[in-house]
Structure 1
């Protein structure tokens, strides 16, 4: 009987000494996903101003006129932008696809407003240097030699 009691006690002690596997800490994964979202283009952005460059250095900057608004919206693969200028009756918008490789943003427009369709007829693909930071980015136009000309500066609104 003591041997049965001893075996039972030993089995019970082993069972209680086993530790449960620690639960997977999802907080790190959630934080990483949130940071990735903040550092991606996906979302809605508003144009806040421009930089002009000379010899790849900012030489001038302009803030947006409060009556003028431009928004860009990025999904996983699509881009759409629109421009609102109350004093101008022409419409400005474009729609297409985009790709971002970490340095270069390439937008290929499929169609746009009447004014933009004229531009698209001549040039569909627009390639920019992109300086993407948390909740803001600079879309930088380059000349044929790769020198910076000007940038459009955006902040995330959603």
Structure 2
């Protein structure tokens, strides 16, 4: 009888060790999933534009006084709004996005009245992406892959 009790105790210990190991593995996987880095996640304000010719900056412009354009990214959604004090037209858009270390693709779902007309013609917008911890640029390319213009943003809190 004592021998059966010892075997039962050993089996219980082994089973509980196995469950503990599985839980630890699950926790590690969950932690890995939750700590995935999304470099664009957060809030950004446009600070200026670049125009390119022969893939070199030929003009740079800071945003005008009172002009504001803000983009907000979470893990897979983007929303932007633009304020142009001298313009009565409202500008905003909402949709999903994907980003790699060098590309940004936005798939717009809806927007302001004017933007909905643009979305009816073209809902997918693709850019070359240059991103750091505190800045990013989305650069429009022409059909040959040449740089055309960029919108430049800084991170805001």
Cα distance in 1 for partners of 2:87, 2:58 equals 29
Deviation at 1:59, TM superposition (A): 1.0
Give the corresponding residue for 1:155.
154
> What is the CA–CA distance in structure 2 between the aligned matches of 1:58 and 1:48, rounded to whole Å?
16
* Aligned 1:56-95 pairs, distance under 5 A: 56-95=55-94
**2:95, 2:65 → 1: CA distance?**
27
Aligned residue-pair number: 123
Query: 1:89: how far off?
Result: 1.2
**Deviation, structure 1 residue 67:** 1.3
1:85 shift after superposition: 1.1
In the alignment, the residues of structure 2 paired with residue 119 and residue 146 of structure 1 have an alpha-carbon distance, to the nearest angstrom, of 22
Calculate the TM-score normalised by the size of structure 2: 0.75
The residue correspondences of 1:7-22 to structure 2 (distance < 5 A) are none
Deviations 1:49-84 (A, max 9, x none): 000101111111000002110000001100000001
Shift of 1:134: 1.7
Cα distance in 2 between the residues matched to 1:48 and 1:101: 22
Structure 1 segments (4+ residues) deviating >3 Å: none
Whole-Å separation in 1 of the counterparts to 2:133 and 2:72: 16
Q: In structure 1, the residue corresponding to 2:75 is in which secondary structure?
A: coil
Give the superposition deviation at 1:140: 0.2
Provide TM-score, normalisation by structure 1: 0.75
Task: Write the distance in 2 (CA, Å) between the matches of 1:45 and 1:154.
Answer: 6
* Distance (Å, rounded) in 2 between the aligned partners of 1:135 and 1:93: 23
Q: Give the C-alpha shift of residue 133 in structure 1.
A: 1.0
Give the equivalent residue in structure 1 for 2:106. Answer: 107
Whole-Å separation in 2 of the counterparts to 1:108 and 1:133: 23
Secondary structure at 1:90 match in 2: coil
Q: CA RMSD in A?
A: 1.4
